[in-house]
Amino acid sequence: MSAGWGVGRNNRAETARRALADQALSVLASAQDGAIGAGLPATFDSARARWGPLSPPVSAYVARVLLREPALDEPWPARLQQLLHWLAGVQRADGLIQDTTLASPSRRGGLVATGNALSAWCDWQREHDDSRIARAITRSATALADLLAHDPARACARHGVVVPDFLPAAEAARGLLLAGQALDRPAWWDIAARQIDSALATCDDTTKETVFELRTGRALDSALEAAMRCQTVDAVTRIARAFDKRLNHGGLTRRIPARDMDKTRRTLAAAALARSLQTAVKDGVLLDRRTARRVRGLKIQRIVSPGAIDHCLACDSLADLVAGCRPITRPQAR
């Protein structure tokens, strides 16, 4: 009797998670339909009851997360293709993705946007033969390799590129790593591996901050997957320990009022990272017993429920919600 009750409860929980993910996808579709163009905005303007301007960084991140989903229903494959082509359209002449679509004297390129777009393009190209995407991959990967090869901070400053202040270039390195695999460019692979080692070296310092920043969770997730691809044996252990310490100090497992949207977004990002760590353990990554036990026990309480999602959640947070609620299939490491 008790066993059957437990199975029923698990089934109900899984049904609720999928309903939550489906609802988040529905709002993302609404955002794409409500914007001018096929990209995604960063925010919803509640005063004007409309979505804000399109955001290349947010669009690239959402595409990267959703392309890891093993079974997205129609019409999402078509929507993702439109989104990926839109990202190719905001690629600068030097191959970088511009940080904004707003009119400005200089639309700077960004490592994060370019890295996430490159990752999404490579994931898409594994299943499709898209000539436009193939050209975009080559251009962006070439640009990132030039920027990350020697002194990334100095090279980026010289080219007017926005440098992130967290786990430097984690997303860019992941994108370059995938491109190196797809196009059989060992030199790109080596450059990306060095950047991932650098990101892991700063992992503990990054998570000592008072607040678990939204971007920190995303960058840790990128570093985790890229390090697994590089066969960095201790990657999961290092990230899991740093994440565990941050949870203990930051209290992210506590229920947070939905009206505090900033904390909500941070918690969603933490939930997505926790899911990625647990998936890594299930994939057989070697860990010491203590770390493996902690990773399996990571739980982020749900802070939203079916019917509670509205346009207040930003598009990238909605993607985090999908990542935290639906099973993500990770590619095997090389």
Given a contact cutoff of 8 angstroms between Cβ atoms, the answer to whether 111 and 147 are in contact is yes
pLDDT of res. 284: 72
Given a contact cutoff of 8 angstroms between Cβ atoms, the answer to whether 124 and 133 are in contact is yes
Of 74-83, 99-108, 141-150, the poorest mean pLDDT is in: 99-108
DSSP state of 73: P
Given a contact cutoff of 8 angstroms between Cβ atoms, the answer to whether 172 and 137 are in contact is no
Could you give the residue ranges of the DSSP H alpha helices within the chain?
Answer: 2-34, 56-66, 76-89, 111-125, 131-148, 152-158, 170-182, 186-201, 203-206, 214-229, 235-250, 261-282, 289-297, 315-325
Query: What percentage of the chain carries pLDDT values higher than 90?
Result: 22
CA 79, 84, 85, 86: dihedral to nearest 10 degrees? 90
Token pair, residue 206, equals 């990054």
Distance in angstroms (rounded) separating the CA atoms of residues 138 and 179: 8
Amino acid at 253: T
Q: How do residues 260-275 score in pLDDT, each as one tens digit?
A: 677 777 788 888 888 8
Who contacts 172 (Cβ-Cβ below 8 Å, separation ≥6)? 111, 112, 114, 115, 118, 144, 147, 148, 195
Distance in angstroms (rounded) separating the CA atoms of residues 191 and 145: 7
Task: Name the strand (E) or helix (H) holding 109.
Answer: strand 109-110
Q: How do residues 222-260 score in pLDDT, each as one tens digit?
A: 888 888 777 666 778 888 877 777 666 655 555 455 556
Instruction: Kindly report the backbone phi and psi dihedral angles of residue 91, in degrees, each rounded to the nearest multiple of 5, phi listed first.
Output: -80, 130
Q: How do residues 187-231 score in pLDDT, each as one tens digit?
A: 999 998 888 887 787 777 766 665 567 777 888 888 888 887 776
Q: How do residues 95-115 score in pLDDT, each as one tens digit?
A: 999 877 765 556 677 888 899
Amino acid at 169: A
Distance in angstroms (rounded) separating the CA atoms of residues 152 and 118: 18
Of 61-70, 142-151, 295-304, 314-323, the poorest mean pLDDT is in: 295-304
Distance in angstroms (rounded) separating the CA atoms of residues 216 and 218: 5
> At residue 62, does pLDDT exceed 90?
yes
